Structure 1
């Protein structure tokens, strides 16, 4: 049996997922990170194992656990992978809609279903990375925001269902965070450092949830920067 605790983190090669993975490695976890393009990640550690998998393809998810030799020891599942396309509803292609649905709804549900038996055995933990978009009306965010609202409700359902088996479920609702999430959008965080969160700050909050295990649980938490400021990108 492995001496390390074992975690599975989606979207682990960059941004928030990479910061969470690095934090978990620091806590002694063996981390299996899921990434569509693991070759782009420069971080290396003997406890960090990136696996190439396109989570928008359900067939690849079905084969994923067969590539994790100690899958039965997984005690932490972090649903972090995501992307967003913002546009008027008639301008969103069916391909982009399917990609978002598969990544934000189908993939977390399939992975959770595949791993819950082990998480129950290990009295483990599931963390969902939500978004304030799932709580508010988001201009041109019709699909993305609706999917986030859906995964918020799924996390709440799981909290109620799994707590009797000592599986802890957390929903982390994120506000504006400075990552490459905004690379292909027409807006981005303001330059003011008080107007955005950093991936390492998100990882710090999750670390507190993991190490402060005192017999009670925080099922849901929203993290927001001090100021609300966005800016539109200059059109070239």
Structure 2
């Protein structure tokens, strides 16, 4: 019998790499994203449904699309969005969007599925960011929200471990994805200076396959070198 996983932001980047890995581990994956039609990947056990995590009201609607909710054993809170600018120049709409996606949605999804995960002795993964651990110029809103997500994951680990629900926080550094499409920086061309989504999925796979009773609550993932570059804009 296939286990069921729920993955947010599953249409591209880290979320898609995680979904592909889970399919190979015999999971049925229900993903949520804003634009499912933009994802070319197809699999009989990969169900990508439309949902907007900027609007908390869409979460119950998304969960209703999962026919066997009682079999869910894995939740991956991965979806993210980032806008960097001086605080006075950032619009209220962008601030609200980041709050909803990075904090409100993961907490609401976790709350909605915790009883099922307790029954199934399941797992919850949170994809954080090193921005939640470091000072980032013009990234104070994004970094603060990631720090809040980190703290929620840490508190949840202690709350749920008595019920054999394993909570894991993965904190990646700069990763080569479309995450940077709205930013004025991007990964350097040196392949040693960034992570790949598949590397993050591999770490998750190693954690999932370890049934020794050892729980790894938190992992920080960094590339060998630290290099970033500013985008060049044509006038």
Task: Name the TM-score, length of structure 1 as normaliser.
Answer: 0.98
Q: 2:109 aligns with which of 105, 108, 111?
A: 111
Q: How far apart are the structure 2 equivalents of 1:193 and 1:158?
A: 35
Q: How far apart are the structure 2 equivalents of 1:64 and 1:42?
A: 21
User: 1:213 Cα deviation (Å)?
Assistant: 1.7
Work out whether residues 128 and 150 of structure 2, in 8 Å CA contact, stay in contact via their aligned partners in 1: yes
Q: How far apart are the structure 2 equivalents of 1:204 and 1:84?
A: 24
Work out whether residues 9 and 33 of structure 2, in 8 Å CA contact, stay in contact via their aligned partners in 1: yes
Q: 1:178 aligns with which of 168, 176, 179?
A: 176
| Aligned match of 2:56 | 58
| Aligned match of 1:145 | 143
| Aligned match of 1:26 | 24
Work out whether residues 32 and 62 of structure 2, in 8 Å CA contact, stay in contact via their aligned partners in 1: no
The runs of 5 or more residues in structure 1 that have no matched partner are: none
The runs of 5 or more residues in structure 2 that have no matched partner are: none
| Aligned match of 2:160 | 162
| Aligned match of 2:96 | 98
CA displacement, residues 25-57 of structure 1 (integer Å, 9 cap, x when unaligned): 000000001111000001111110001000110
List 4+ stretches of structure 1 deviating above 3 A: none
Query: Which secondary structure state, in structure 2, belongs to the residue aligned with residue 46 of structure 1?
Result: coil
Q: 1:191 aligns with which of 185, 189, 206?
A: 189
| Aligned match of 1:37 | 35
| Aligned match of 1:79 | 77
- Equivalent residue runs for 1:5-20 within 5 Å: 5-20=3-18
Moved more, 65-74 or 9-18: 65-74
- RMSD (CA atoms): 0.6
User: 1:64 Cα deviation (Å)?
Assistant: 2.0
Query: Which secondary structure state, in structure 1, belongs to the residue aligned with residue 128 of structure 2?
Result: strand
Q: 1:88 aligns with which of 86, 89, 109?
A: 86
Q: How far apart are the structure 1 equivalents of 2:180 and 2:126?
A: 20
Q: How far apart are the structure 1 equivalents of 2:59 and 2:140?
A: 26
Q: How far apart are the structure 2 equivalents of 1:83 and 1:66?
A: 25
| Aligned match of 1:212 | 210
Query: Which secondary structure state, in structure 2, belongs to the residue aligned with residue 183 of structure 1?
Result: helix
Q: 1:67 aligns with which of 41, 45, 65?
A: 65
User: 1:62 Cα deviation (Å)?
Assistant: 2.6
User: 1:61 Cα deviation (Å)?
Assistant: 1.0
Aligned length: 234
Work out whether residues 50 and 62 of structure 2, in 8 Å CA contact, stay in contact via their aligned partners in 1: no
CA displacement, residues 183-227 of structure 1 (integer Å, 9 cap, x when unaligned): 110000100000000011110000000001211100000000000
User: 1:15 Cα deviation (Å)?
Assistant: 0.5
CA displacement, residues 73-118 of structure 1 (integer Å, 9 cap, x when unaligned): 1000000000100000001100000000000000000000000000
Q: How far apart are the structure 1 equivalents of 2:174 and 2:147?
A: 16
Correspondence 1:136 to 2:140: no
Query: Which secondary structure state, in structure 2, belongs to the residue aligned with residue 147 of structure 1?
Result: helix
Correspondence 1:231 to 2:224: no
Task: Name the TM-score, length of structure 2 as normaliser.
Answer: 0.99
